[in-house]
């Protein structure tokens, strides 16, 4: 079992590569498609996933893709099951295994559903070729939250999920997301992230999760979306690395950030800055973005066949730029460069 996990980690910790999160639930996918006035059906969701997953040469920048259950049994235009198509391109297929959020009684805070029957589901997903999984917990920042209760419960569930994954030979991506929603300061985000990460890693330890066979997908330490005087790129990068160094054991192989509502450019610039701070990082630091990789492609597509190429170009551009950022080689002026220009050397 250990070897299986180690092999997956080896393929997913590749310099200059990151993870594409394409695991939107039907509800979230419907929201995304509505933003371009496309009706959400099994077929339009398949077409959209087909567009991204068949983009030429994504394997240069993407080493893993997180899929949603529905996509596992869908096929590309060329008739190949998506997980198989990814594996053929040297990309590790993964699966979102949580079953969404529920509210604690009498509270605005949320926990994540999906622990019941997780082992059986993992076995089914493995038959489709999935080798890693994702579970997302969320924490909102307000005067009274996140509470100790929510922090403890979500950490415990993340740890139980991670343990179950490893018992089934599946690498767990542990995703504690401190939400960007609100007008809070970067300081409030820093404090909340500190508490959340501390509790997550102590729960993982209590459950005997093998830290060297897991991946962390955290949010960055960032000002609330509606805050005045939002912190700049430098401060976000410095504070994020600081909180990670204080709470994440060095034996963890990889940290792959979520984008969490940052603009695509912000998400790329922040990741890049973390690599240019001149600090030694004990883990690989990269991306596992959904919106920051997909949004420009979604806008370019508009549900029209004649736009597929332009949409793939837009997607590849974000993938390339984030790949460069994961090596500290991104520059803002690249945003305006034509994709065909040799921006990779």
Closest to ligand 13P by CB, 109 vs 175, is 175
d(CA 270, CA 222): 10
What does the per-residue mask of binding to ligand 13P show for 15-54, with x meaning CB under 6 A? Answer: ------x---------------------------------
Question: Is residue 260 part of the contact set for ligand 13P (CB under 6 A)?
Answer: yes
| C-alpha dihedral sign at 256, 1, 65, 318 | positive
Is 43 catalytic? The answer is no
C-alpha 84/C-alpha 82 separation (Å) is 5
Going from the C-alpha of 196 to that of each of 38, 114, 138, the distances in angstroms are 37, 20, 10
Number of residues counted as binding ligand 13P (CB under 6 A): 10
Binding mask 79-118 for ligand 13P (x = CB under 6 A): ----------------------------------------
Stretch touching ligand 13P by CB under 6 A, among 1-9, 257-265, 299-307, 309-317: 257-265
Instruction: Tell me the torsion sign for CA atoms 57, 22, 201, 247.
Output: positive
Catalytic residue among 96, 217, 317, 320: 217
Query: What is the per-residue DSSP string for 81-115?
Result: BHHHHHHHTT-EEEEE----EEEPTTSS-EEE---
Q: Which is nearer to ligand 13P, 136 or 168 (CB)?
A: 136
User: CB-based contacts of 8: which residues, under 8 Å, 6+ apart?
Assistant: 92, 131, 132, 171
Least distance (Å) between residue 77 CB and ligand 13P: 25
From the candidates 175, 177, 317, 320, which is the catalytic residue?
175
Q: How many residues does the chain have?
A: 345
27 catalytic, yes or no? Answer: no
291 touches ligand 13P by CB under 6 A: yes
DSSP string, 260-310: TT--HHHHHHHHHHHHTS----SSEEEEEESHHHHHHHHHHHTT-GGGHHH
**Least separation in angstroms between CB 186 and ligand 13P:** 18
Catalytic positions, please?
A: 175, 217
Instruction: List interacting residues with ligand 13P (CB under 6 A).
Output: 21, 136, 175, 258-260, 289-292
């Amino acid at each position: 079992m250990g070897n299986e996990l180690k092999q997956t980690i080896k393929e997913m910790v590749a310099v200059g590569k990151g993870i594409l999160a394409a695991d939107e639930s039907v509800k979230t996918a419907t929201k995304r498609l509505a933003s371009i006035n496309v009706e959400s059906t099994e077929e339009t969701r398949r077409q959209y996933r087909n567009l991204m997953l068949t983009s030429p040469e994504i394997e240069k920048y993407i080493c893993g893709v997180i899929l949603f259950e529905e996509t596992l049994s869908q096929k590309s235009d060329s008739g190949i099951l998506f997980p198989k198509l990814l594996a053929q391109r040297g990309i590790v297929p993964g699966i979102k295994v949580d079953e969404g959020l529920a509210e604690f009684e009498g509270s605005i805070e949320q926990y994540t559903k999906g622990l019941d029957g997780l082992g059986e589901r993992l076995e089914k997903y493995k038959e489709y070729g999935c080798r890693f999984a994702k579970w997302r917990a969320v924490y909102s920042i307000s005067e009274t939250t996140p509470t100790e209760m929510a922090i403890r419960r979500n950490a415990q569930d993340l740890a139980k999920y991670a343990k179950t994954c490893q018992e089934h030979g599946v690498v767990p991506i542990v995703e504690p997301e401190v939400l960007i929603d609100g007008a809070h300061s970067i300081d409030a985000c820093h404090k909340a992230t500190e508490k959340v990460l501390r509790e997550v890693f102590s729960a993982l330890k209590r459950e005997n999760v093998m830290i060297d066979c897991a991946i962390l997908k955290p949010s960055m330490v960032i000002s609330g979306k509606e805050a005045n005087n939002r912190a700049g790129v430098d401060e976000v990068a410095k504070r994020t690395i600081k909180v990670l160094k204080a709470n994440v054991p060095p034996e963890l192989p990889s940290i792959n950030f979520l984008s969490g509502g940052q603009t695509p450019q912000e998400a790329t610039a922040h990741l890049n800055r973390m690599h240019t701070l001149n600090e030694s990082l004990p883990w690989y630091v990269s991306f596992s973005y959904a919106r920051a990789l997909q949004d420009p492609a979604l806008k370019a597509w508009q549900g029209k066949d004649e736009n597929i190429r332009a949409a793939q170009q837009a997607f590849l551009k974000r993938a390339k730029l984030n790949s460069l950022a994961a090596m500290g080689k991104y520059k803002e002026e690249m945003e305006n460069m034509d994709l065909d220009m040799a921006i990779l050397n």
